[in-house]
Structure formats: C-alpha cells, structure tokens
Amino acid sequence: KFAASADAVDAQAGGSIWQDGSHTDRLVYFRRLRSADAAAARRLLEAGLHELGARERGDFVAALAIGATSADEALLDGLMKDRSREVRRSAADLLATLPGSPHAKRLQAWLAPLVTAKRGLLGKSWDCEAPQGVDPAWAASAIESKRPQHEALGERAWWLFQFVRQAPLRWWTDHTGMNPAQLLAWAGKTDWTDALHRGWLERVSAAEPDWIEAMLA
C-alpha cells in the first residue's frame, strides 16, 4: 500500500490529496511539492499545522529538509516550542543546518570551546571536552539537561552527545580541517568516543556519502 500510494499521487489533484488523502499520500505529495515549490509547501504546512497530530507534525517537519533555506526560519523557530519533543528536535536539527540562524550560531558557540586545537612537538592536534554544567539557555534549543534514566551515557557525555547530533557534519570538517575518516579515528582516542560516534551516526544522511563510507569502514 505504501509503494502504491507513492505512484498514485501524480494521478490525483494535489488539493484533494491534501484534504482527503491518507497521511502517507499527503506526505508524498508534500515532499514533491517541496521539491518543486518550497515556499508553497511551507505555506501549506503552516496553514494546516493545527490539524496535525504529533507524529504527523514530526514527519512533515522532517520533510522541510528538502530545499531548506533561511525563509523557513520563522516556521522552524515557532516549532521549537511545539508540545512534541520529536518535533522540537526535528526543528532544531534543521535550524542547525542554516548557518545564519540564531539557533545555529548558539549551537556553534557552545560547541566550539569544547573542540580546541593545541600545538605540540608533532604538530597540531585536537582536544575534546564535554560541558561542565548546565546552561539554562539549552532548554530553548532542544538540549535536555536531565539525563534519561535508561541512558547509557554519563551526564556530561549526554550533554555533549546532544550538541553533536544537532551540529551539521560539515561543521566538524570545517572546524578541524580533518576528513570524516580522520575525525572518526580521532574520536576513538578521546574520552568521549561514544558521545561523538553516536551523535555523528544520528546526524549523517544519504547526502554525505564520504561520512557513510568512513563509518562503514
């Protein structure tokens, strides 16, 4: 049914799909509209957000990644206050990819002091630290200060992991000058291997084959 729904979308009028289609049909239609006319898709979602359940909102917010630009910032900023944790996280993940967004700048300002260069006899190397304490401003950026009871990471590693899973992977290559394979090897020698590797794994997408190949290797 899922596969058939994707093919059926083109044979129907978009308006009727959005009004009467299943969640799967509407999502396929929205993705195609987003690819063809990002602004029209954004307006459509803005008008219908109040009618969507939490899971549906999460799916549509994730689909905003298609052609995301600074024009989406206002919508995503509003979604950072959504009732659903997953919606807030999806909005934060997208805002982090928009370099000019206040959220992206805050995230980089928190992360950069934790990943620092040092010079020694063998040249430049990099250190990684985890936050020492909670910043009250984290809450507005979908960073949870309280570690879940089931979480295997320690408290400080949990905070670092949340920064890492939001930050775009290109931030790491730009900031350190290392390629994905070098970064993965470097992370394995730090005190925060699990937080770094797990955060990168959650962040990687099909648009980053160099990272995928390095992770598989």
Alpha carbon 104 to its chain's center: 11
Q: What is the pLDDT of residue 13?
A: 55
Q: What are phi and psi of 111, to 5 degrees?
A: -85, -40
Q: What is the pLDDT of residues 71-129, one digit of tens each?
A: 999 999 999 999 999 999 999 999 999 999 999 999 999 999 999 998 877 778 999 99
* pLDDT of 183 above 90: yes
The pLDDT of 153-176, averaged and rounded, is 97
Across all residues in the chain, what is the average pLDDT?
A: 91
Q: State the pTM of this model.
A: 0.86
Q: What is the pLDDT of residue 191?
A: 96
Minimal CA–CA distance to 106: which of 76, 138, 75?
A: 138
d(C-alpha 115, C-alpha 76), whole Å: 27
Three-state DSSP class for residue 206: coil
